[in-house]
A and B are shown apart, each in its own frame.
Chain A
Amino acid sequence: MNIAKLTIPAVRDGLLGKQFSAVELTTEALRFAQDENPKTNAYLTFSDQRALAAAARVDALIAAGQPLGPLAGVPIAVKDVIVTKDVKTTCASKILSNYLPPYDSTAVERLEAAGGILLGKANCDEFAMGSSNENSAFGPVRNPVALDRVPGGSSGGSAAAVVQGTAVVSLGSDTGGSIRQPASFCGCVGVTPTYGRVSRYGLVAFASSLDHIGPFSRNVADSATLLGAIAGRDPRDATSAARPVPDYAALLGDSVQGLKLGLPKEYFANLAPETGDRIMAGVEVLKKLGCEISEVSLPHTEYAIATYYILCTAELSANLSRFDGVRYGVRSPNSHTLADMYKNTRGEGFGAEVKRRIMLGSYVLSHGYYDAFYRKAQKVRRLLTEDFTRAFEHVDALITPVSPFPAFKIGEKVNDPIQMYLSDIYTITGSLAGVPCMSVPCGTTAEGLPVGMQILTNHFAEDVMFRLAHQFEKAGGFTA
């Protein structure tokens, strides 16, 4: 058994074929992950006890001849913005560095109910704010493919763990590209499902109208299985969708012959040359599979960055007001009045990017600017969403690059927030429209840096997206 290359079906086969027990696999997975972690800093916390207890439950099921859940025995990393009962959840922030949640998020509850093993918590940008994982209070994550480069962000640790082989699959969160961009930079599959497809109960809120939870994996089928296990209505999240969850993994083999795919011309204008070449080579693979390719237009794309950074900072400035040193987290010791305690706790506890965004959000919501910025952006969000509605009247899916360029060097963009924000251009639009979208590996540059292809489909058409990605991966030989 090569622990770094396991897939969900391989774990299942190994357990049922008695090649290893769940406890043996978990013990080995924890040892391997802990040994390898210094290379990338992908994990912040390991949850050994909880993992071994969950593994023992899987072994008990096997011994009793009971049916196993779809994730039985699978070692999983969970981004540290998703709460886990009695397992430290820091949001990669100093202000929550000692937080032990008193409850589990629905996503984690469901992955454990399906037999999944929580190995530990994955590093990320502080409160999921960043595109490079350099904003973690506990040090950056390094890209396992090229250790001097960023893994992308904000779910950098979740992507790195899967590519490094220290988790079979992982969960991340995506508000403007935080799953797809690190998946493309590290060379794995990363999926942002339809808004509301996965409950956000227990996801520490960043921008509530944009936040999603979604899977990372080394192949498309594993993401389909993981999403199937965590998706669906949750009474504790009123925004979760009351729609049945298809068996995504069972539908992967259905034909993609005759599917209509659109290439939005606005997404191909400013690409690094090798990124453009890889994506166009990928489009050829899709053509050979029998898909019909046409050019389409999403005319408001150029307004997406401004729209997104107004809406997300406005929402986060409100959501992060709960971190005030009263109910949880670290309190500044140097204050004698309540007002000073709030201000000092937040000033000392938040990192530079989080404070920059709280300032921006507070500004665009402040008296006299609300209509000019916030309300204006809400209107443009509708225009951007209507671009997608119109496109999906003509095509089944859109094919685009995930990022204009491959992984950049650690430190390269850290002093230029606008350049950092602009790197999110192709992922932000799907987040604003709430459509399902994913990154699937699409080859590498001459230097060996992964390039990700983005597939977007209409609301709740994850089945079409997975099917395309799976057959693309097989035909192109792109499995990580």
Chain B
Amino acid sequence: MKLTEENVRYVAGLANLTLSDQEIHQYTADLSGILSHMEKLNQLDTSHVEPMTQVLFAGQENDSLREDIEHTPLSNDVALANAPLAGAGYFKVPKVIER
């Protein structure tokens, strides 16, 4: 499978990644090689196989539910403590709306 640099730039946009021209060039080659290996799966007929999303075990219906007990969440201060920029109890980001 051969990707173009244009394909890779498009995917970088989807992934919210700023990449240098050098990185685009490198990933174009890397992804092409890896995806070619992945095409190996087409050797298998899976038309009658159900997709497997998780490892699941037999159990009680409510096993994955917790008791409905209230517990204290992180406080506003604690939740903001790691923010690169915060103020007035909020996370701050660069302006979104143009004037």
Contact = CB atoms under 8 A, between A and B. Distances in A.
Interface of A: 98-100, 102-103, 195-196, 209, 235-236, 238-239, 241-243, 300, 302-303, 305-307, 309-310, 317, 321, 324-331, 335-344, 346-348, 350, 352, 355-356, 358-364, 366, 373, 375-383, 385, 417-418, 421, 433-434, 459-460
B44 interface: yes
Contacts of B16: 321, 324, 339, 342-343, 346
Contact of A379 (B50, B54, B84): B50
B88 to A, nearest CB: 15
Given A338-B96, A346-B18, A347-B19, 5 more contacts: A100-B81, A238-B64, A239-B64, A325-B84, A327-B79
B38 A309 contact: yes
B44 A326 contact: no
A421 B40 CA distance: 15
B41 A377 contact: yes
B94 interface: yes
A310 B18 contact: no
A359 B12 contact: yes
Interface of B: 3, 7-8, 11-12, 14-19, 23, 27, 30-31, 33-35, 37-44, 46, 49-55, 57, 59-60, 63-67, 74, 78-79, 81-85, 91, 93-96
Contact of B30 (A236, A337, A417): A417
B67 A379 contact: no
Contacts of A330: 84
A212 to B, nearest CB: 10
Contacts of A361: 15
B24 to A, nearest CB: 10
A382 B51 contact: yes
B71 to A, nearest CB: 9
A326 B93 contact: yes
Nearest to A376: B41
Contacts of A239: 54, 64
- Return the 3 tightest CB-CB contacts between A and B, nearest first: A434-B55, A347-B18, A235-B66
A418 B33 CA distance: 8
A94 to B, nearest CB: 13
B18 A362 contact: no
A309 B57 contact: no
A278 to B, nearest CB: 29
Given A331-B84, A338-B96, A373 B38 contact: yes
A413 to B, nearest CB: 14
A358 B85 CA distance: 26
Contact of B37 (A100, A305, A434, A460): A305
A92 to B, nearest CB: 17
A195 B41 contact: no
